[in-house]
Amino acid sequence: MRRPAEVGWALPPRYCVLLPLAVVLVGLLLVLQWRSLERDEFGELPDFAAIDHVPSMKRAFFRYMTPIIEHHNDVIRAQRARLKALQQAGPPDELPDDEARWLRQLSVRYELPWQADTPPEGLLAALLLRVDTIPLPLALAQAAKESGWGRSRFAVEGNNLFGQWCYTEGCGIVPANRSTGARHELEVFPSVSEAMRRYMNNLNTHERYREFRALRARLRREDEPMAGLKLARALIYYSERREAYVKEIRSMIRQFRRMLAESSAP
């Protein structure tokens, strides 16, 4: 497989078979990515604190967050499908320019920059470990836990529902209980949708979540359901509370099974 920097214009015969599929996938991906830039597509974060009835508040949280999670998982599914199509085509003599360009951009987005001595086949395999979805119950549980069901100061003022930190002065909101000498702030996002995209990208790229990605890949190989309950075990480094945090997230996921069914009811 030729590397992007060396790509020519010739199109191998095997890609003629894949071209219609690629066109469909590219179209879907472009539409989904365009939609993800729409700041108000899902509306502003509702005032969940104004809902006094706790079960109703939690159902409202589910109904608001679920389509955002599903949207970004759809974007990832489209990316993954295109990667799988390239992988299943086998090593070609040349990679079409558009595929090479897209692969290079995706590798940067998932923090796997193309190295001159990296075989493209290896890059595809490495990307497939990262370009994968986050189970809905897991994303819901972390959003609820980290943001106090969308009612925390950081959620309301900065659309930050996942406790994401930044380290440049003025990049976010300074927590009231920040230790002396600490530099972190709670990042401010233009929308909840963008916060969701960054959360998923964090799990899919950061070194701390290598075990999470490895477990997810194993579950896929063994054709097991992508259960958030199982994957939550691998998020030991998401919080300074370590095991206690994982235990709480897993407990929330168990409770959510019934609540998710109720929230989807008319």
Q: Is the pTM of this model over 0.95?
A: no
Q: Is 173 a residue whose pLDDT tops 60? A: yes
What is the tens place of the pLDDT at every residue in 110-169? 999 776 666 777 889 999 999 999 999 999 999 999 999 999 999 999 999 999 988 888
The rounded distance, in Å, linking the Cα atoms of 72 and 91 is 30
Cα Rg of the chain (Å, integer): 20
What is the tens place of the pLDDT at every residue in 3-36? 443 333 344 555 444 544 554 455 555 545 544 4
User: What's the pLDDT at 1?
Assistant: 41
User: What's the pLDDT at 253?
Assistant: 94
Average pLDDT, the chain: 83
Structural domains in the chain plus CATH codes: 4-130 (no CATH), 136-263 (1.10.530)
Quick count: other Cβ atoms within 10 Å of Cβ 158? 20
User: What's the pLDDT at 10?
Assistant: 41
- DSSP 3-state of 38: coil
What is the tens place of the pLDDT at every residue in 199-216? 999 999 999 999 999 999
